[in-house]
Homo-oligomer: A and B are copies of this chain.
Amino acid sequence: MSILVVGSVALDHVETPFGSADGVVGGSAIFFAAAASMLTPVQVVGVVGSDYPMDRLRFLEEQEVDLSGVEIVEGDSFRWKGCYGHDPNDRTTIWTQLGVFEQFKPRLPDHFRDARTVFLGNIDPVLQLDVLEQVRLPKLVVCDTMNFWIDGNREALLEVIGRVHILMVNDAEARQLADESNLLKAARWIQAQGPEWVVVKKGEHGAVLFGSASVFFVPGYPIEEVCDPTGAGDAFAGGFLGYLDWSGSRSRDDFRRAMVYGSALGSYAVEAFSVDRLKNLTPDQVMERIRQFHEITAFELEVGAVRNG
């Protein structure tokens, strides 16, 4: 099995209370691929300018990430500058330079068109639809989005949402999309538009999976030094979908474990700038964090503590 991902391939400029990084490898497709490829092969669709340091993506190819869908176009790569406060959920975009991304028209190499598992990263919903059209028989499609598209291209976004199996957004986006402050009601509204599952990412507060008749919570992993929160959501998506693609199962238990894999990969992503931590991650470290998630959430039921019962 393998996963097709479409999204941004960017150069990030990041400032945090603990340091900064200038022009480092980033973008939703890259963070996703770096995380998912711990579990399953990945095919990337995207665009970069002629200035992009493709050699810095070589570690991905060594991990069975197929970059033949990343078009190199004359011009500047997509660049984003952001800064974070002491609260890692508090992010400010300083500037965005779209560069060649502005004219991005996803074209899937023919061998990508047989993908069964698809991750539509946070890009214009019109492009997400375009990618979906090019995939012959998608079996599991997950879509991410953001406030910019919810406001700016709601109609196309709802069309995408009507065609995906899982919508993955943060809590503010879920509330905005559904125009509903209660998260449970917001998720139910989204499910009524199509997706059987809704995954809501809450940053340091963890993530929630809403199924047809079930809810599952995973906390944020307690980290002493959050170096750079950039890419955590995409690494989460990579761990989540990587696990589902690897397992091949769609059971309730597998969806739950997928949430934990997502949280584990997301939590590693924030420990360094760019994809540096994911690049150096070992399988043993991933498994160790999965066990830690079990350790910090598991409790045994015991019968009968209530009086007069």
Interface, chain A (partner B; CB < 8 A): 37-40, 86-87, 181-185, 202, 204-206, 208, 214-217, 219, 222-226, 243, 246-247, 253, 256-257, 259-261, 283-284, 286-287, 290-291, 294-309
**A217 CB contacts on chain B under 8 angstroms:** 206, 219, 296-297
**A260 CB contacts on chain B under 8 angstroms:** 299
- Cα distance, A306 to B278, chains bound together (Å): 13
Specify the chain B residue showing the minimal Cβ separation from A286.
B306
- Cα distance, A1 to B38, chains bound together (Å): 52
The oligomer's copy count stands at 2
**A184 CB contacts on chain B under 8 angstroms:** 222-224
Contact A305 B246 (CB under 8 A): yes
Shortest C-beta distance, A46 to chain B (Å), equals: 23
Shortest C-beta distance, A264 to chain B (Å), equals: 10
> Would A214 and B301 be within 8 Å (CB), given that A40-B307, A224-B185 are in contact?
no
Offer 26 A-B interface pairs, CB within 8 angstroms, sorted by A. A37-B307, A38-B306, A39-B306, A39-B307, A86-B181, A87-B181, A182-B225, A184-B223, A184-B224, A205-B205, A205-B206, A216-B297, A253-B299, A256-B298, A257-B300, A283-B307, A283-B308, A283-B309, A284-B306, A287-B303, A287-B309, A290-B301, A291-B301, A294-B299, A297-B299, A298-B298
Q: Which residue of the partner chain, among B181, B182, B243, B300, contacts A305 with CB atoms under 8 Å?
A: B243
Shortest C-beta distance, A301 to chain B (Å), equals: 5
Contact B224 A302 (CB under 8 A): no
Specify the chain B residue showing the minimal Cβ separation from A290.
B301
